[in-house]
Structure 1
Amino acid sequence: MASKALIPFLVGMMLLTGVCNTLFTKYQDNQCVRNCDDPDPKNRKTFEQPVLQTAQMFVGEVGCWLVVGVMAAWQKYKSRSSPKADGYQAVDTDNANDDNDDDAASINSAHPLVEPAKRRAGPDGLLRGFGILLLALPAICDILGTTLVNAGLFMVAASIYQMTRGALVLFVGLFSVVFLQRKLHLFQWVSLVGVVTGVALVGLAGVIWPDPKGALKQAIAAGDDDAASVDALRAALGVVLIAGAQIFTATQFVLEEFLLERSSIDAIEVVGWEGLFGLAVTLICMLVLHVAVGRTDAGRYGMFDMVEGFRQMTEYRAVWVSSLLTMVSIGGFNFFGLSVTRSVSATARSTIDSCRTLFIWVVSLGLGWESFKGLQVVGFALLVYFTFLFNGVVQPPFKFLQPREEVEELLPEEPIEHN
C-alpha cells in the first residue's frame, strides 16, 4: 500500500504511460515505410503490422519480471539487514506441523482476491506447478484482441480507437452474468445500453467524418472521390474490428478473474507469465503465417510477411524507437495501474482510465491527427457517464433505478490491462 503522498504520482504516471501506449502505436502507424518518394500518394505504404505490434506488447509485459526481480531482491536485502536477535530461536517440535499450517493459512488470507473456502488449496491454488500453463488461455485471448485493435487503429483516429474500446464494459458485464453467475441490477443494464449508444455515436462520427492519414489525405485533397469512399469504409471496418476485439478482451478478463480468485499469485506475476506465453504463441503463429501466407505473391509486403515486417521495424528509426517506447510504456502502465488499484480501488482505476481517453483526444487534436467532431463529443460524454454509472462512481438519476441491496463487483480487485 503506497503512502497518500505517493498516490498522485502513481495516478499521474498511470495516465502518462496509458496515453503514451496509444499515441506511440498511432505514431508508428503513420510512418511511411515503402514507396515514400512515389509522386502518387496512393502508392505510398505506411507501417501496418498489427501482429508485430502485438509481439512488442508482450515483450513489454515480459519486462514486468524485472519489477518482480527488483522487489524480491529488495525484500531479501531487508531481511538480511534486520536479522533475528541472537541468531537462533527455539522450535517446539510438537507443534511444528500446526505452525506450518498456520503460516500457510496466513499467507493465503493476506491476499484479498482469494475466497476463504478456496484458500485451503495452498498459497498458489490453481496456478501452481503445471497449472501455471492455464495462463496461456487469457494470453491467447489477449493475442486475438490486441491484434484486432491494432489492425483497427491504423484505420481510425486514436481517440475513436480509445472510445470504441469502451464497449468492453458491455461484454465484461454480460460474460460476468453468464459465466461467473454475477447479478446485474437495473441501473447496470441501463448503463450497458447507454455505453452501446455512446460507442455507436463515436463510431458513426468516425465513419461520417473520417480522418485520413498520409497518402489517403493527399489523394482526397486532390479531389479523388474514390479515395474518400475507401477511407469511409476503412473507418467503418476499423470501428467494427475494435468493438469486436472487446469480446476477446472481456473473455480474457473473465478468465483472469476466475484464476485469480482461486490462487494467491501476485497480479504483476500474472502479467509476466501471460507475456511469456503470449510472446511464444505470437512468434510461432508469425512463423507459420509467414510460411503459409507471407511468402506467397498475394501475401508479400502484407501483415503476415515477417521478413518485410522486421525490415520495416529495423530500417526506419521512427518505427523502432516508437517500438522501444511502447514496450516501456506498456510495462509501466501495468505496474502503475496495479499500484493505483492496491492504493485506491479498481473503480478508481477504471475512472482514471476514462480520463486517459480524454487526454488522447486532446493530444491527437493538437498534433493534427484528427479533426473536432461534435457527434464524437456527444458519444464520448454518454460513454463516460454510463461507464461511471455502471461502476458506481455516480448514483442512478432516478429512484426506481437505485439498487435495494449491495452491488457486487463485476471486475476483480486487480484488473489486468495490457494496452
Structure 2
Amino acid sequence: MFIGEMGCWLVVGLMALWRRFKGSAPEDRGYQAVDTEENGDAEAAPQADDRTKLLHTGPSILRGYRVALLALPAICDICGTTLMNAGLLMVAASIYQMTRGALVLFVGLFSVVFLKRHLHLFQWLSLVGVVLGVAVVGLAGAIWPDEKPENSIGQPEEDSATDGGLSDAARAIVGVLLIAGAQIFTATQFVLEEYLLERSTIDPIRVVGWEGIFGFSVTLLAMFVLHATIGSTEAGKYGYFDIVEGWRQMTENKQVLISSFLIMISIGGFNFFGLSVTRSVSATSRSTIDTCRTLFIWIVSLGLGWETFKWLQIVGFALLVYFTFLFNGIVQPPLEFLRVPDEEIEELLPEEPIEHR
C-alpha cells in the first residue's frame, strides 16, 4: 500500500521534467485561488489580484521538518487497515460492510468536535441514511450468502476458520469490535488530513507521497520487530508475523503477486483523489463518497460472477446514493423544515481551499 503511495513521487518527478521541457518554471506556492468575480472596471483588476494573493499568504504548517506531521495520518492508516483486515478474517464480508458503514458517523462527529464544523439536521440524517444503506446491503449478504471458493493458498479451510479455539459467536464479536475500532482510526486519519491540508498549500499528490514514505518506514520497522520477537520463534513460525513465509507465499503464488502489484498502483491514485476531495470539500464528504465504493465493487463482482443478484441490495444502494447526494447538497431535503438557505450551506467546491493553477 505505502509503496504505491510512494510511487506518487514518480508522477511528481515526471511533472517537473515536463515543466522543464516546456520551459515554465514551477512555482512552489501550492494551489492558487481563482477570482470568479467579473469586474468591469479595469482599475479593480490589481485589487482583485492582491485579494487573491492574500488567500495563501498565511504560514504553511507543512513546511520543513513539520512535514513529518504527515506521519500521524499514515500511522492511523496502518492501524485502521490492520484492524479491518484482522476483523475480516473473523466475520463474513456482509458483517464487515455493515460495521464499516459507521465510518461516516465517526468522521462527522470528529469534524464537529475537533474541526468546529457545523452540520445541519438534514446532514446528520444523511449520515444515518448512509449507514442504513450500507447495513441493508450487508443484511442482504447475510440472508442470502454466496458460496465461498475453497482456500487456494495452501492452508486447509478448517484450519483457517479457527482462531485460537474461539467459538463462532466469540469470533464474530471480536471481529466486529476490531472493525469498529478501525473506523475510529480511519476517521481520525480523515480529520487529521483535513486539518493539515487547510493550513498548508502543499499539493495532495505530494501529501500522498510523504504519507507513503512515513507509512512504509513505520511498517518496515514494525515488521522487523514483530518478526524478531514473534515470527522467528517456533510458535510464531508460518504465522502472520513470519516475514520469510509471507514473502514465499507472495512470490510463489502468481495470483497474490499480481494482485499485490495492482493494489500498489491503484492505492496511490485512490488516496490522491481522496485527499483532493478532503481539501476541496471536507473529510465528512469524502467519507460519504468513499462509502459509495461498495456500489462499484458490487457491480464488478456481479460481472465477474463472484456475487449473485439480490433485490434487497438494490434498495440498500439506492439509499446509499440518495443520502450521499443529499449530504453533499446535490439534491434538496424532501421536507420543508429540513431545508436551510443556500448561503448557510458550505459550497460543494469552494474557491478558497483549492484551485488548480
User: Considering the TM-score relative to the shorter chain, is it more than 0.5?
Assistant: yes
Deviates more, 1:293-302 or 1:273-282: 293-302
Count of paired positions: 322
Q: 1:165 to 1:204 in 2, by over 3 A?
A: same
Gaps of 5+ in 1: 1-56, 83-102, 221-228, 415-419
The 8 Å contact of residues 193 and 278 in structure 2, kept in 1 or not, is answered as: no
User: Residue deviations 1:9-54, cap 9 Å, x none?
Assistant: xxxxxxxxxxxxxxxxxxxxxxxxxxxxxxxxxxxxxxxxxxxxxx
1:177 counterpart residue number: 112
C-alpha distance in 1 between matches for 2:345 and 2:5: 32
2:135 counterpart residue number: 200
Look up the equivalent residue of 1:245 and give its one-letter code. A
The 8 Å contact of residues 155 and 235 in structure 1, kept in 2 or not, is answered as: yes
The 8 Å contact of residues 156 and 206 in structure 1, kept in 2 or not, is answered as: no
1:78 counterpart residue number: 22
Look up the equivalent residue of 1:316 and give its one-letter code. N
Post-superposition offset of 1:291: 2.1
Question: Does residue 290 in structure 1 map to residue 212 in structure 2?
Answer: no
Residue in structure 2 matching 1:367, options 295, 304, 325: 304
1:125-144 pair list within 5 angstroms: 125-144=60-79
C-alpha distance in 2 between matches for 1:60 and 1:313: 16
1:407 counterpart residue number: 345
Post-superposition offset of 1:410: 9.3
Residue in structure 2 matching 1:390, options 315, 323, 327: 327
The 8 Å contact of residues 176 and 254 in structure 1, kept in 2 or not, is answered as: yes
Question: Does residue 59 in structure 1 map to residue 7 in structure 2?
Answer: no
Identity %: 69
Instruction: Report the TM-score, using the length of structure 2 for normalisation.
Output: 0.75
Look up the equivalent residue of 1:110 and give its one-letter code. Q
Post-superposition offset of 1:189: 1.5
The 8 Å contact of residues 169 and 387 in structure 1, kept in 2 or not, is answered as: no
1:103-142 pair list within 5 angstroms: 107=29, 110=32, 119-122=56-59, 125-142=60-77
Q: 1:246 to 1:116 in 2, by over 3 A?
A: farther
Q: 1:385 to 1:215 in 2, by over 3 A?
A: same
2:204 counterpart residue number: 267
The 8 Å contact of residues 123 and 326 in structure 2, kept in 1 or not, is answered as: yes
User: Residue deviations 1:328-370, cap 9 Å, x none?
Assistant: 122243456678999x988998887566432311222343433
User: Residue deviations 1:179-209, cap 9 Å, x none?
Assistant: 0001110101211222232333334444444
2:247 counterpart residue number: 310
Deviates more, 1:367-376 or 1:245-254: 367-376
C-alpha RMSD over aligned residues: 4.0
Q: 1:248 to 1:59 in 2, by over 3 A?
A: same
Look up the equivalent residue of 2:344 and give its one-letter code. E
2:149 counterpart residue number: 214
1:188 counterpart residue number: 123
Q: Which has the higher helix share?
A: 1
Look up the equivalent residue of 2:32 and give its one-letter code. A
Look up the equivalent residue of 1:143 and give its one-letter code. I
C-alpha distance in 1 between matches for 2:300 and 2:30: 44
C-alpha distance in 1 between matches for 2:277 and 2:119: 26
The 8 Å contact of residues 123 and 327 in structure 2, kept in 1 or not, is answered as: yes
C-alpha distance in 2 between matches for 1:237 and 1:108: 44
C-alpha distance in 1 between matches for 2:291 and 2:142: 22
Instruction: Report the TM-score, using the length of structure 1 for normalisation.
Output: 0.65
Look up the equivalent residue of 1:295 and give its one-letter code. S
Q: 1:201 to 1:318 in 2, by over 3 A?
A: same
Look up the equivalent residue of 1:310 and give its one-letter code. W
Gaps of 5+ in 2: 35-51, 158-165
